[in-house]
Amino acid sequence: MNFIIDPGAIEQESMAIIEKNVPLLASLPKKEQSIVKRIIHTTGDFNIAPLVKIHPQAIDRGLDAIRRGCNIYTDVNMVLAGLNSKRLAAYGIQALCHIADPAVAEQARRTGQTRAMVAMRRAGSLQGDIVVIGNAPTALFTLCDMIKQGEADPALVIGTPVGFVGASESKEMLVNLGKVPYITLQGTRGGSTIAASIVNALLYM
């Protein structure tokens, strides 16, 4: 059996297959196409395309933040691990996650909150930064509350928490917030790999 072994050729062929099988892509602006194709490539799921929701200002705000060398805050280390480290370094971007900090674990035990909630508040005002939540709905609920209360002002929120308890609702809250550009995925589907793929799609632009 013959198969492709060159990584660049594999990716190029993958993207061609995606374009052939997802007619919806043709109706999207080029930059949005790049985001959606990267999500499909990551999941291997053609049917996920209609679930992707991108705020009209999201991509431009995200690219501006990247060019400025913003910080990127993630809810879990799995998202952090999926980011393209060479691209981050090229823009002087620091990618951070507080979920494993001992102080976060201690406060979570003391208050009864999830570590994701405590870690999100420890990130501070997030002024001009990109927040990437791929796993924990409680982190996204907390971030939305911080934004509503004027305690946080990120440039972009990438919110794709996964699961059956709170994931869909937290993403709906993000979309309905009306105060921050977002990239999200409707419903219960999501995850750290999808969140990381969206950041990488922006970095590749």
Per-residue pLDDT tens digits of the chain, which is 205 residues long = 666 565 667 778 888 899 999 999 999 999 999 999 999 999 999 999 999 999 999 999 999 999 999 999 999 999 999 999 999 999 999 999 999 999 999 999 999 999 999 999 999 999 999 999 999 999 999 999 999 999 999 999 999 999 999 999 999 999 999 889 999 999 999 999 999 999 999 999 9
What single-letter amino acid sits at 15? Answer: M
Quote the tokens at residue 75. Answer: 């809810």
Identify the pLDDT of residue 6.
59
How far is 51 from 198, CA to CA, in rounded Å?
14
Instruction: Select from 17, 41, 31 the least CA-distant residue to 204.
Output: 31
Residue 45 lies in a domain: no
Contact present, 158 and 199 (Cβ < 8 Å): yes
31, 41, 53, 122: which one is catalytic?
41
Identify the pLDDT of residue 7.
65
Q: What is the CATH number of the domain that holds 136?
A: 3.40.50.10230
Q: Tell me the C-alpha to C-alpha distance, in Å, between residue 112 and each of 2, 21, 56, 108, 117.
A: 55, 46, 37, 6, 10
Look at the chain and report how many structural domains it folds into. Answer: 1
Q: State how beta strands 182-185 and 52-54 pair.
A: antiparallel
Domain that residue 119 falls in: 50-204
Residue 98 annotated as catalytic: no
Residue 35 lies in a domain: no
Residue 32 lies in a domain: no
Identify the pLDDT of residue 3.
60
Identify the pLDDT of residue 8.
64
